[in-house]
Amino acid sequence: MKMAPVEGGLAIAPGTSVALKPGGLHLMFLDLKEGLKAGDTVSGSLTFERAGTVPVTFTVAPIGAQAPASEAGGHQHH
Ligand SMILES: [Cu+2]
């Protein structure tokens, strides 16, 4: 399976939502200067045509994770 960038931006039709997740549309970090490890957070921003730029914080999940912990349900004990 080959990945290709979405040209010209990702369209979100009125009244709909678009999910970015493993196995589907996703954000891809390129040219990382250092490795990411689970539990780290990465600051970024998403730019919308109408809504402008919205700051976001990405939480690094382990390889193979299918959803953020907050969506997967349950919790971990340490
Ligand atoms: Cu990709």
Closest CA to 9 of 51, 38, 40, 37: 51
| Ligand 1 centre distance from Cα of residue 36 (Å) | 16
Of residues 5 and 69, the one with the higher pLDDT is 5
Taking 90 as the threshold, does the pLDDT of residue 24 lie above it?
no
| Ligand 1 centre distance from Cα of residue 71 (Å) | 21
Tell me the Cα Rg of the chain: 15
Burial class (CB within 10 angstroms; exposed 0-12, middle 13-18, buried 19+) of 61: middle
| Ligand 1 centre distance from Cα of residue 44 (Å) | 17
| Ligand 1 centre distance from Cα of residue 70 (Å) | 23
pLDDT digits (tens, 9 = 90+) for 31-54: 989 889 999 999 999 999 989 999
Taking 70 as the threshold, does the pLDDT of residue 70 lie above it?
no
Parallel, antiparallel, or unpaired for β 52-59 and 41-48?
Answer: antiparallel
Closest CA to 24 of 6, 51, 42, 43: 6
Across residues 72-77, what is the average pLDDT?
52
